Amino acid sequence: MAVSTLSRVAVVGSAQTMLRASWTELQHVDLIAAAVDAVLRGSGLDMKDVDVVIDCGSDVLDGRSISNCGFLGAMGAHHKEESRVEEDGLFGAVYGTTKIAGGSASVALIVAYSKPSESDVSAYYATLSDPFYQRALGLDHIGAAGLTANQYLTTTDADEEGLLRIAAESWRKVADNPSVDLDRVPSLADIQASPLVADPLRSLQIARPVDGAVAVLLASEQVARRVTDRPVWITGMGAAMDSHFLADRAPGELEACRAAANMAMKRAGITAVSSIGLAEVSGASAAGEAMVIEALGFAPRGHAVDAYSEGATVAINPSGGALPADPIMATGLVRLHEASSRLTGRLGGDVGSRAIVHGAGGLGMQNNCVFIVEV
Partner 1 sequence: MRSVAIVGAGQTRHARRRKDVTQVALAREAVTSALQDAGLTMDDIDSVVVCSGPVLFAAVNQPEKWLVDAIGARLKPVVRVTSGGGTGLAGALAAVNQIRGGFAERVLVVAYDKLSEGALQYSISTLYDPFWGREFAVGIMGFAAAYWRARMDSLGHTEEAAAMVSVKNHRNALLNPYAHVKKEVSVEDVMNSRPLCWPIKLLDVPPISDGACAVVLSSEDAAKASADPAWIRGIAYYSEAENAANRSMIQSEPLTIAAQRVYKQAGITNPRRQCDVVEVQEPYTCFELSYYEGLGLCPPGGAADLISSGATLIDGDIPVNPSGGCMGANPIGATALIRLAEVAQQVRGRAGNHQIPDARVGLMQAGGGWANLRGVAVVASTKG
Partner 2 sequence: MTDGLLTGIDQPQVLETTLSLPYTLTTGRAAGTFLAELGNKRILGSRCDKCARVMTPPQDYCSRCGSASETFVHMPERGTVTAVTRTDRAILALVQLDGSDSGFLHRLAPDSHHAAVGARVRAVWADTPSQSMLDLDCFALDDTGGHAGSAIEVGEVAVVAELAYSLTLHYKHAYGPHYGRLFDELATHRRILGSLCPSCRNVLVPPREFCDACFVRTAQYVDVADTGILQAFSVIHMEFVGQTRKPPYVYAEIVLDGSATRLIHTIAGFDVTTAAERLQIGMPVRAVWKDRADCHGTLDDIDYFEIVTGSERGD
Q: In angstroms, give the least distance from the CB of 373 to partner 2.
A: 27
User: Which residues, in sequence order, are CB contacts of 347 under 8 Å at separation 6+?
Assistant: 318, 338, 341
* Cβ contact 212:16 at 8 Å: yes
* Cβ contact 281:293 at 8 Å: yes
Q: Which is nearer to partner 2, 195 or 269 (CB)?
A: 195
Contact stretch for partner 1 (CB under 8 A) within 125-133, 198-206, 218-226, 340-348 = 125-133
Query: Measuring CA to CA, which residue among 251, 148, 145, 156 is closest to residue 202?
Result: 145
User: Which residues, in sequence order, are CB contacts of 182 under 8 Å at separation 6+?
Assistant: 174, 175, 324
* Cβ contact 357:90 at 8 Å: yes
151 part of the interface to partner 2, by CB under 8 A? yes
Q: Which is nearer to partner 2, 204 or 316 (CB)?
A: 204
Q: Which of residues 197-216 bind partner 2 (CB under 8 A)?
A: 197-201
235 part of the interface to partner 1, by CB under 8 A? no
Contact stretch for partner 2 (CB under 8 A) within 21-29, 157-165, 309-317, 333-341 = 21-29
Bond before 200 cis per omega within 30 degrees? yes
101 part of the interface to partner 1, by CB under 8 A? yes
Bond before 195 cis per omega within 30 degrees? no
The whole-angstrom separation of Cα 241 and Cα 361 is: 9
Phi and psi dihedrals of 297, rounded to 5? 95, 15
Q: Which is nearer to partner 2, 115 or 258 (CB)?
A: 115
Q: Which is nearer to partner 1, 245 or 275 (CB)?
A: 245
**Could you say which DSSP state residue 154 is in?**
H
The DSSP bridge pattern shows strands 52-56 and 107-114 to be parallel
Contact stretch for partner 2 (CB under 8 A) within 86-94, 195-203, 267-275, 294-302 = 195-203
238 part of the interface to partner 1, by CB under 8 A? yes
Which residues bind to partner 1, rule: CB under 8 A?
A: 1-3, 6, 53, 58-60, 63-66, 68-70, 72-73, 77-87, 91, 94-95, 97-104, 124, 127-131, 237-245, 248, 255-256, 259-260, 263, 361-363, 366-367
Which residues bind to partner 2, rule: CB under 8 A?
A: 23-27, 29-30, 33, 36-37, 47, 60, 63, 72-74, 76, 78-79, 115, 117-120, 123, 127, 130-134, 136-140, 142-143, 146-151, 154, 196-201, 243-248, 251
